[in-house]
Amino acid sequence: MRTGSASPARAGIGVIVRGGVARGEPGVGLGSANRWDKFEAAKLDELREPGEPRTSLLLRYTLTHPSANTIIVGTLHPAHLAENVEAIARGPLLPAVYAEAKRRLDAIGVIPAPVA
């Protein structure tokens, strides 16, 4: 369990993120009845690469989190699996893009659950 200001990594703890994209479905995730309302309020569409799906940006944001060691992503549809693989192939967000996405999400009150 994390105490004080020590990061999980410094404490020798790995962090697994599950549900960071919340199945890409409206109505779940990001702490509200409609995740895409929060996505739009934070103007995250402006941060997507050309042609990048919203779920890809969320997956890459989760992948970029400095405390995340690995992420678990499930899917019900082969098309979603292909989209997730493509998102991971794009790699983590650039540091400036991650910082801006985090700033925008913080500004509207969407803060990731604490790492324990």
Q: What is the pLDDT of residue 97?
A: 97
CA distance 73 to 85: 10
Q: CA of 53: how far to CAs of 10, 15, 50, 71, 86, in Å?
A: 34, 25, 9, 18, 10
Band of residue 112 on the pLDDT scale cut at 50, 70, 90: low
Q: What is the mean pLDDT of the chain?
A: 79
User: Over the stretch 23-79, which tens digit does the pLDDT of each residue have?
Assistant: 555 544 444 456 678 889 999 999 999 999 888 999 999 999 888 888 888 777 888
What pLDDT score does 35 carry? 63
Q: What are the CA-CA distances from residue 42 to residues 10, 35, 115 (Å)? A: 31, 11, 23
- High-pLDDT (> 70) share of the chain, %: 74
